[in-house]
Amino acid sequence: MSYLILIIGFILLIKGADIFVEGASNIAKKFGIPPIVVGLTIVSIGTSAPELAVSLIASFEGNNGITIGNVLGSNIFNTLMVLGVTSIITPILIKKSTMLKDYIVNIVVTISLFMLTFGRILFNKEVGLSRLSGIILILGCVVYTLYLIKTAKSEGEDNETNNNIKILASIIKIIVGIAGIILGGNLVVNSASNIAYSFGLSDKLVGLTIVAIGTSLPELVTSIIAAIKGENDIAIGNVLGSNIFNILLILGVSSSINPILISASLLADILFLIVVSLILGVFMFKGKKDKLALGKIEGLTLVILYIGYMGYIIFRN
């Protein structure tokens, strides 16, 4: 029964996020908000909505292992599997200059997470995210969002309002989407916890694997479809944006609600996330051409790294 509830929860999460993004995007178009702002904020936050719902619910219930495991696992899955599978299906080509800043922000945010968690050991503090750390991450999220909006405006896009879009219908979609996300998040957290306890597994392992993969399905589907349609900037931007919001927004809000104590074993997972992010940078920005590319070889390498990582954490538990 727990497995059935888990599947239903994932369906509600993914469909809820899809409806939420559609409703929010329609309202943005209605008022002439630049498409790039919609893509970098609404789409990224929308595809991160399942992670946000699961992590917040887990935080309220005191399941901090699922909270931190979900974010770390999702970011690792996004970096290795989402981009790996996408580039195996179709090579990802894009100008280096358009992705460099977001990639650098992604690296800085990931390293900052490491310093805010395990850096506390240097000051004889418990390993984890305090409420102060959460506030710092939230402020970082606000600054990053404002930066995205300012960058979009500086491009001087002339956006016309769309009068054919109905506001009430869009608002209803947003409400329905949020309801699906919240309900699905509850079902996923409760069923995943039951499965973990029945097999004697730790909540952090379930967060790193089952929950992380399930909540990252929107990113996987979005990036694959975007790449097939030739929207390569969305394919990579979706992953980088989601990874950044996962850390800044999700862990920021979660640790502000309930400080997160982190198991020392997760040090390897955070370091692994930093390493694979650097490897992704090597793949993306190698060569002198202005175009960056992730081809089948790079994609296969990323997928193999994820398979090896999954084997390691299952054996570790």
Boundaries of every domain in the chain: 2-157+165-316
Pick from 11-20, 79-88, 151-160, 271-280: least confident: 151-160
Kindly tell me if the per-residue pLDDT of 162 is higher than 70. no
Kindly tell me if the per-residue pLDDT of 156 is higher than 50. no
Residue 143's pLDDT band (cuts 50, 70, 90): very high
Kindly tell me if the per-residue pLDDT of 12 is higher than 80. yes
Residue 69: the pLDDT is 82
Task: State the alpha helices, DSSP H only, in the chain.
Answer: 2-30, 35-37, 44-47, 49-60, 64-77, 83-89, 96-117, 131-154, 167-198, 203-206, 212-215, 217-228, 232-245, 252-257, 267-285, 296-316
CATH T-level topology, domain 2-157+165-316:
A middle domain of Talin 1 (1.20.1420)
Kindly tell me if the per-residue pLDDT of 172 is higher than 50. yes
Section 175-204 average pLDDT: 75
**Mean pLDDT score across all residues of the chain:** 79
Question: Beta-carbon neighbour count of residue 129 at 10 Å?
Answer: 26
Residue 84's pLDDT band (cuts 50, 70, 90): very high
Contact by Cβ (8 Å): 70, 54: yes
Q: What percent of the chain has pLDDT over 90?
A: 19
Kindly tell me if the per-residue pLDDT of 158 is higher than 60. no
- Which whole-number Å values give the CA distances from 252 to 42, 64, 135, 171, 255, in the listed order? 18, 13, 6, 27, 6
Contact by Cβ (8 Å): 252, 141: yes
Question: Which residue, 86, 88, 105, 116, is CA-closest to 226?
Answer: 86
Kindly tell me if the per-residue pLDDT of 157 is higher than 60. no
Q: Pull the structure tokens for residue 55.
A: 């992590």
Pick from 103-117, 166-180, 247-261: least confident: 166-180
Section 168-187 average pLDDT: 80
The residues, ordered by sequence, that sit 6+ positions from 268 with a Cβ below 8 Å of its Cβ are 316
Does the predicted model carry a pTM greater than 0.85?
no
Pick from 66-75, 90-99, 142-151, 283-292: least confident: 283-292
Section 51-76 average pLDDT: 80
Pick from 12-16, 109-113, 265-269: least confident: 12-16
Quickly tell me which residue has 């694979």 as its tokens. Answer: 276
Residue 75: the pLDDT is 93
Section 12-41 average pLDDT: 69
Kindly tell me if the per-residue pLDDT of 137 is higher than 50. yes
Residue 100: the pLDDT is 82
Higher pLDDT, 284 or 22: 284
Residue 117: the pLDDT is 85
Kindly tell me if the per-residue pLDDT of 95 is higher than 60. yes
Section 190-214 average pLDDT: 74
Kindly tell me if the per-residue pLDDT of 290 is higher than 90. no
